[in-house]
Amino acid sequence: MNYFNKHIIITGAAGFIGSSLVEFLLKNGGYKITCIDNFDDYYDISAKQKNIAAFENHANIRFLKIDIRNADELNKNLCDDYDIIVHLAAKAGVRQSILQPNLYEQTNVAGTLNLLEFAKQKNVKQFVFASSSSIYGVNPDVPWRETSALMPVSPYAATKIAGEYLGYTYSKLYDIRFIALRFFTVYGAKQRPDLAIHKFTELITKNNPITLYGNGDTFRDYTYIDDILSGIAAAINYDKTMFETINLGNNHTVGLLDLVATLENVIGKKAIAQFDKLHPADSPRTFADITKAKKLLNYNPQTQLNDGIRKFYEWYVNN
């Protein structure tokens, strides 16, 4: 007889973090997982097909190609009892959200609302939500704590704040435990190709120029995927309070020029750098205070940038 501790719905399961989470949970056992993704074309869908190849036919996995904007489709296809929803599906990317704000709102706000309604109707009592460091935006007072002022500068960031507030409302009204995890620039194997580490690696390897926005004077709190996964797993099992917002970062902010130097060192090639002004949707600096994550989730990031970049590059070369 098959025995599963928990049946989890993971949305965005073909994406970078989602597919990594599915593999991580399968390795750790005890979970039956229903995966949802619509294979959105924000980046090459062949990357997403590769992401799921290792697990799509696994006995404990059911993979559904569903769009979270369509509540009827969700209700029609999801008929089991579920313990938890880990909601990672989203239109990602701060800059693109300036060009397509309505699309971001429909996916990230209306889509999240559909899943919360689903949780209410099907009595799913725990909801883990992928929020983002971008919600702190241009707040200059770093490191950011969960109580820091939110100063978003992209429609994307604003949709993540809306998701958190919808979660708060549903938690209060319907006793759904809602944990918003505010991810800080996640990197590692399978990283989205639009994010700096992956994009720069591709360009440097092919001897093409890279553009450093903010004239190279921006800072990011890069967080390795395995650390993020341990934080998500802890949130899945968290059972104390009913609503929390929690930073998942590395508590170490790195200048863009230092990032490029690290990439050059690992790749073994010099970058051809060109400079441009800060994009209006970008934060000048991200930096997480992770005191709360340590306390509530026993979160303790292990991977420093140099090691993480080496592991990413190893994956990049083999893929």
* Residues taking part in catalysis: 156
- Rounded CA separation 18/52 (Å): 9
96 binds ligand NAD (CB under 6 A): no
Which residues sit opposite 177 in a β-bridge? 126
Binds ligand NAD by CB under 6 A, chosen from 78, 90, 204, 290? 90
Q: Which tokens belong to 208?
A: 């093409």
Secondary structure class of 175 (helix, strand, coil): coil
Contact of 60 with 3, CB cutoff 8 Å: no
Binds ligand NAD by CB under 6 A, chosen from 8, 9, 10, 15? 15
Nearest-5° Cα angle at 229, 182 to 218: 45
37 binds ligand NAD (CB under 6 A): yes
CB of 50 to ligand NAD, least distance (A): 12
Binds ligand NAD by CB under 6 A, chosen from 186, 189, 256, 266? 186
Measured distance between the N- and C-terminal CA atoms of the chain, rounded to whole angstroms: 38
Q: Give 130 or 270: the residue with its C-beta nearer to ligand NAD.
A: 130
Binds ligand NAD by CB under 6 A, chosen from 25, 32, 40, 313? 40
Binds ligand NAD by CB under 6 A, chosen from 52, 88, 263, 290? 88
14 binds ligand NAD (CB under 6 A): yes
Nearest-5° Cα angle at 293, 292 to 294: 90
HSE toward the beta carbon, residue 286, CA cutoff 13 A:
26
| Residue range at the interface with ligand NAD (CB under 6 A); choices 2-10, 89-97, 204-212, 265-273 | 89-97
| Residue range at the interface with ligand NAD (CB under 6 A); choices 35-43, 135-143, 234-242, 302-310 | 35-43
Q: What is the DSSP letter of 144?
A: B
Contact of 47 with 41, CB cutoff 8 Å: no
State the alpha helices, DSSP H only, in 251-304. Answer: 256-267, 291-297
Contact of 167 with 242, CB cutoff 8 Å: no
Q: In which residue are the tokens 């209306």 written?
A: 110
Q: How many residues bind ligand NAD (CB under 6 A)?
A: 30
Going from the C-alpha of 187 to that of each of 44, 159, 191, 196, 313, the distances in angstroms are: 18, 22, 5, 9, 11
CB of 75 to ligand NAD, least distance (A): 15
165 binds ligand NAD (CB under 6 A): no
- Overall residue count recorded for the chain in this entry: 319
Binding mask 44-83 for ligand NAD (x = CB under 6 A): ----x------------------xxx--------------
| Residue range at the interface with ligand NAD (CB under 6 A); choices 6-14, 113-121, 239-247, 256-264 | 6-14
Q: Give 32 or 91: the residue with its C-beta nearer to ligand NAD.
A: 91
220 binds ligand NAD (CB under 6 A): no
Q: Give 46 or 270: the residue with its C-beta nearer to ligand NAD.
A: 46
Rounded to 10 degrees, the C-alpha dihedral 183/188/192/196 comes to: 80
Residues that bind ligand NAD (CB under 6 A): 11-12, 14-18, 36-40, 42, 48, 67-69, 88-92, 107, 111, 130, 132, 183, 185-186, 192
